[in-house]
A = this chain, B = another copy of it.
Amino acid sequence: MPHTQTARLMDGTGLARKILDHSAAMATAITRQTGTPPCLATVLVGDDPASATYVRMKRARCEKAGIASRHLHLPATTTTAELVDAITSLSEDPEVHGILLQHPVGAHIDERAAFEAIAPHKDVDGVTMRSFAAMSFGLPGFVSCTPGGIMRLLDHYDVELAGKRAVVVGRSAILGKPAGMLLLARDATVTYCHSRTRDLESIVREADVLVAAVGRPGFIRGEDIKVGAVVIDAGYSPGNLGDVDFDGAVTRARLITPVPGGVGPMTIAMLLSQTADAAALQSGLAPAELVPPSSPE
């Protein structure tokens, strides 16, 4: 039975712009009240061109939003101890409000140890164990930026989650795992799928909300999307290819994120939003009171 409906696109670019505008307004208010702008420290280890580009994009976005950034570029030969020391210094520096460690770091470095050197109140990228547990337990804290962005998108499009079947394909510590936990905290019935999952297709077919986060282009077939599902494609591959066969999925889904322009822009928006929140909190200001609530989305 062919389906001729066409899914509504979830406009991550547009929503991200609103969040970025709100973050900029926050930054202005914080700068006015404290005399200094919010400051994000970015840490890059080694010379991977893609990582350097990501950091450059994030810093450019910060500048545009009136958020200062301080960049620490360490050589590829940096040891775990040296990286931990550098991040610990940033954690203790009162002029730094948020810390982003660009990953992956070199294979010789204990990435987890480096992440854990980020003070929880500066973990604006949501990568620490504490932040993960807070997401899992529904406690206050910073969220991982991509899963957090996904939740904002779902909320923006009024997607009901309670009691719905959510399927998360992928189980990384910064994307799949926290995405599932955030969905569970919102009362979805959550299934985690991954490389060892058998008969993935039949599980995907039951998903009211599908989050694809494996980074394998076209990994999810369009024909397996449940009619009326909400499809979040958080895949990222060279050439801006998503995990989901978009052309096939768009005829069956109710809502779908395009790639690019869906989840991608939300990630960086969440980073800036959380940096502004961190600066407010560290300055003793209440984020919700700083900027009129009409501004956000």
Query: Which residues of chain A (173-218) have a CB below 8 Å from chain B?
Result: 173, 177, 180-181, 184, 187, 189-194, 196-198, 203
Residues on the B chain within 8 Å of A142, using CB: none
Which residue of chain B has its CB nearest to the CB of A188? Answer: B196
Complex Cα gap A130–B180 (Å): 18
Q: Say whether A139 faces chain B, with CB atoms less than 8 Å apart.
A: yes
* A72 within 8 A of partner (CB): no
What chain B residues lie within 8 Å of A163 (beta carbons)?
A: 196-198
Q: Quick check: B189 and A194 within 8 Å, CB to CB?
A: yes
**C-alpha spacing A187/B196, complex, angstroms:** 6
Partner of A133, one of B133, B162, B191, B196: B133
Give the complex CA separation of A94 and B114 in angstroms: 28
Please give the count of copies of this chain that the complex contains: 2
B189 A192 Cβ-Cβ under 8 A: yes
Instruction: Determine the chain B residues whose CB is within 8 A of the CB of A137 once the complex forms.
Output: 112, 129, 132, 173, 177
A132 partner residues in chain B, CB cutoff 8 A: 132-133, 136-137
A123, chain B: closest CB distance, angstroms: 12
Most buried by B among A191, A193, A194: A191
**Chain B residues whose CB sits within 8 angstroms of the CB of A139 once the complex forms:** 112, 129
How distant is A219 from chain B, measured CB to nearest CB, in Å?
A: 15
Q: List 13 A-B contacts (CB under 8 A).
A: A112-B139, A129-B130, A129-B133, A132-B136, A136-B136, A136-B177, A180-B192, A184-B192, A184-B194, A187-B194, A187-B196, A189-B192, A189-B194
List 19 additional contacts besides A133-B133, A136-B173; criterion CB under 8 Å. Answer: A129-B133, A129-B137, A132-B133, A136-B136, A163-B197, A171-B184, A177-B181, A177-B184, A180-B192, A184-B192, A184-B194, A187-B194, A189-B193, A189-B196, A189-B197, A189-B198, A189-B203, A191-B191, A191-B192
